[in-house]
Structure 1
C-alpha cells in the first residue's frame, strides 16, 4: 500500500487452520507477523476498519467510492434501511485533501445518503478537518479508540476444545430464520448483507453468534485484512439486554481470542467504546491512541450552509483572522454545525478568531471561554451572571455539570461546583444526575469530584 514504506512491509504468509470452532476449510491468509511499531499498528487498525466498511458496502448493494476523484480519501457507500457513506483518511490531511473531502460531501448529498461520517486515523489530524468539515455543517463525533493485542506476548487462551465446552458461541456459515432486531445477522434489514459477507470468497469475515435457549442473543463480527497491514479485527459487538454480563466476561473473550489465534493472527485490533475498553485491557489489549470522526446529517447533505457562511466559518476554524469580517447574520446565531461562531472558535482552539469575534460583538459564552483557557474571564462572567450556572440545554435539559461529565473534565466540574452548581440536578432526557452520568459513561475522575461535593447518583 502506498502509505506503508517498503522498508516496513513485514507481512508473512501463514496458513489458517480449521478447528472445531469453525468447521471451515484451510485457506491462505497473509498476516503481519513481525514486530510492528505503534504507528504501523494504528494504520492496521484504521485499514481494517476501512475494509470492514467496504465489505459491508459490497454486501449491501452499495459500492466503494475510492476511485471517484477523492484523492487520498477512501470511502464506501453502505445500503440498508438507510444509506450511509463512510469516508476514511489514513494519512495526515494535505492541502489537496480538502478537495477530495468537498467532492465526497457533494457526492453523498447528490446520491441521497442519509448520513456521512468521516474518520481520521489520528486525533492530531483534527485542526484542519475541524475547520474544513465543521464549516460545511459537520458535527464532531466520537473518537475511535484503537486497541491491539499482541498474541505473541501474552498467554494463550484455553484450547479450542476447552473453549467449546464452556461457551455457547458458533460461527455459522448460514443464518436461519430467527429474527432479532438488535443483531445485524438476524435483523430483517441487514441479515442478507451479513450472509453475503460470510459467503464471499476467499473468506475473510466471520460472525460469531452467542446462543441461549436456542435463540441468538449476541454477536461479534471478525474481519481479516491481508497483506502488509494484515490483522484480525473485531467489530460490532452487540448483545441483547438479557445477555449482557456483569463483570469482565472472560469466558466469552476466550472464544474470540482462540478464534483469532487459530486464524494465525499475531495482532488483533479493535475500536473500543469507552465502557468496553477496561474489559479489553483485562484480556491483554492495550491502547494505541485515538482517532476522530465527523458526521453530516441528511438535512445538511441536502441543503448545506450558504457559501458566505462556509467562508466565514472556515476562516474562524483556520484562525485566518484577516478573513473574519462581519458575519452573514446575527453574530451569535448558530452555524449549520449547531455552534455559535464563538463556540466554533473555541472548539477549534483558535484564540485569535475568538478575540476577533468578541470585538465584533459576540456574546461571551462560559464553556467557550473555558475551552479557550480563559478561566479568569469565565469566573468573571459567572460572577456577573450567577443565573448562568443553572442554564440547561433547550432539548436535552443538560446542566453545565452534565456537560462537564460528558467532556470528562474534572477541573470544569470542580469550578462549577465551587460556583454553586446543583450537584443532583437531573437532565431532561434520562432523568439522571451528573454522578449517574459519570458512572454510566465511566468517568471516574469526574465522579470523584462529584462525590467529594456530596453528589448522589
Structure 2
C-alpha cells in the first residue's frame, strides 16, 4: 500500500520529529478554533491563548545569540495579553541547550517529561479483551463536560473550517452499557513528517484497568490506518506507557516541558537583574554571581524569597544540579532543607540536619505536600528511606494530591524494598 502524502519510512529520530511536528500543528489548529493567533518568528513558535485558554510554545529552535531577546519579547507579550497559562514543549536536547534555565529564570516552572512513543500501524496489536457492553463511536459534536471525573473532558474539537483536510481531527467516545466512560483523539498531519498523533486518552477513574484506555487508543490507530497512515505517535506518562506498549508502541525518547502560572507571574514578574541572577544560578556561573552581588541587595530575605516560578534560588540550583552555585548561595545567606542537601550530594549535612532537628523529617514539600519518605518511595531510594527513618518520622502523613502515605506510594509503584523498610518501621 502506498502512502503518498504521509511519512513512509521512519527511524526513531524521524518519529520524534514527526511527534513534534504533529504537536505544533495541533496547537496551531486549537488556537485558531478558539479565536486566537499563531506566531512564528526566528525559531520561536507560539499561540496567543486568552483568559480561558493557555498559550503553547512549540519546540523552540533558538540560538545562543537570539534566545534571550526572543524569550524576553514572549514574556512581554504575556504581560500585555495574559493567557490562562502557558506551556513550552521541547525535544531533548533543547535548542539552545540551556533553554530550560532561560525559561525558569523568566517565570516558568519545571514540568513533566513527555515520553515520545511511536508505532508502525501495520504492526498494531488488535487481539485484546475488552469489557462486554463497551461501544466506541466517532463523535466530534457531543459535549463531554458533564461526564464526572473524565480527563480532558473540556477539550474543544477544532471546527472543520480550520482543518487542512476532511477527518483531520477525530474524537472516539467510549460508552459502557450506554454511559460515557472514556475517549481519545487522533490528529492527522501530512507531508514528509505526516503521522497520526494520539491525544487526550482519558477514562473515568472507576472504570480504569478494564482495557478501556487501550480500546479508545486502538480505535484511533485503526482509523488512522484506514486513512492510509503508516505511523502513529504520542506522548505518554510513565503510568500510561505499559498500555501503549501492549498495542505495539515503542519508546523513542523523553522530552521536556515547562509551565507558566500566569497569576503568579503577573503578581511578581522578574526584573532583568533577577533574570540574570537566576540564569547564573542555573548555569553554576560563580563569576557572574560575584559580579551581580554588588548590584543587588542580597539580603537573606531576598535570597530566600519565592521566585516567579514558585522555586527559591536554592531550589533552582538543586533542580539544575549546580552544587557550586548552591554553595555560593549558602555563603551569601540562603537557607536549604534536608531534601536540598540530599539532592546536592551533601549527605553528611543532611544527616546532621536531621540529628539536630528530627522534626524536620515531617516537613512537607511543594504543591503536593510530600515528605522525605514520599520522595524516597517515589524514587525507590532505599538510602533516603533509611536516613528519614533514623529521625522517627510520622508514617501516617499523607500527601495532598493522592491522600496517601509513603507506604501506599511505594505499594502503588511496586517498590517492594521500600515497602519492606516502611513496614518494618511500623
TM-score range, shorter chain: 0.7 to 0.9
8 Å Cα contact 2:385/2:421 also seen in 1 = no
CA distance in 1, matches of 2:425, 2:249: 33
- Work out which of the residue numbers 13, 32, 43 in structure 1 matches 2:7: 32
In structure 1, distance between residues paired with 2:356 and 2:97: 33
Candidates 235, 238, 242, aligned match of 2:202: 238
**Quick one: which of 425, 434, 447 aligns to 2:406?**
434
Distance 1:287 1:151 in 2: 15
Tell me if the contact between 2:134 and 2:176 (Cα under 8 Å) persists in the aligned partners: no
The offset of 1:434, in angstroms, is 1.2
Deviation at residue 93 of structure 1 after TM alignment:
5.5
Secondary structure of the residue that 1:30 maps to in structure 2? coil
Q: Which residue of 2 aligns with 1:45?
A: 19
- Indicate conservation of the 8 Å contact 2:261/2:309, yes or no: no
Pairing 1:60–2:34 present? yes
Structure 1 position 243, deviation (Å): 4.1
Displacement of 1:247: 5.3
* Structure 1 match to 2:232: 268
Tell me the distance in 2 between the aligned counterparts of 1:377 and 1:388: 13
Query: What is the 5 A alignment of 1:60-209?
Result: 60-66=34-40, 69=41, 71-78=42-49, 82-89=52-59, 91=61, 94-122=64-92, 128-152=98-122, 154=123, 157=126, 168-172=135-139, 175-176=141-142, 180=146, 187=154, 193-194=156-157, 196-197=159-160, 200-203=163-166, 204-209=168-173
Match of 1:400 in 2: 372
Cα deviation digits, residues 196-251 of structure 1 (max 9, x gap) = 15873412111111134545432211011111211111001122345434357655
- Contact 1:312 1:327 (C-alpha < 8 Å) held by counterparts: no
Equivalent-residue separation in structure 1 for 2:359 and 2:231 (angstroms): 53
In structure 2, do the counterparts of structure 1 residues 410 and 38 end up closer, same or farther at CA, with 3 Å as the change threshold? farther
Structure 1 equivalent of residue 193 of structure 2: 229
Aligned positions of 1:222-371 closer than 5 A: 222-246=186-210, 250-303=214-267, 304-324=269-289, 325=293, 328-329=298-299, 330=301, 331-371=303-343
Quick one: structure 1 residues 178 and 122, their matched pair in 2 at CA, closer, same or farther if it must change by over 3 Å?
Answer: closer
Once the two structures are superposed, what CA deviation does each residue of 1:392-447 show, in whole Å capped at 9, x if it has no partner?
2487543221233455645433432355434442235543201323455xx334x5
Q: Classify 1:198/1:371 alpha carbon distance in 2 versus 1 (closer, same or farther; 3 Å).
A: farther
Contact 2:7/2:195, CA 8 A, preserved across alignment: yes
Partner of 1:425: 397
Counterparts in 2 of 1:455 and 1:332: CA distance versus 1, 3 Å: farther
Q: CA 1:286–1:414 in 2, change beyond 3 Å: closer, same or farther?
A: farther
Q: How many residues align?
A: 415
CA contact (8 A) 2:341 2:350 kept: yes
Contact 1:206 1:223 in 2 (8 A): yes
> 2:181 aligns to what?
217
| Offset of residue 121 of structure 1 | 1.1
Helix, strand or coil at the partner of 2:98: helix
Q: How far apart, CA to CA, are the structure 2 residues paired with 1:86 and 1:328?
A: 34
Deviates more, 1:390-399 or 1:353-362: 390-399
> What TM-score, normalized by structure 2, do the two folds share?
0.85
State the partner residue of 1:8. none
Residues 156 and 405 of structure 1: CA distance in aligned 2, closer, same or farther (over 3 Å)? closer
**How far does residue 333 in structure 1 lie from its aligned partner after superposition?**
2.4
The 8 Å contact of residues 435 and 456 in structure 1, kept in 2 or not, is answered as: no
Instruction: List alignment gaps of at least 5 residues for structure 2.
Output: none
Gaps of 5+ in 1: 1-11, 15-28
**SS of equivalent residue, structure 1 residue 31:** coil
What's the TM-score, normalizing by structure 1? 0.80
Shift of residue 140 of structure 1?
Answer: 0.4
Question: RMSD in angstroms over aligned alpha carbons?
Answer: 3.3
Quick one: distance in 2 between partners of 1:92 and 1:414? 44
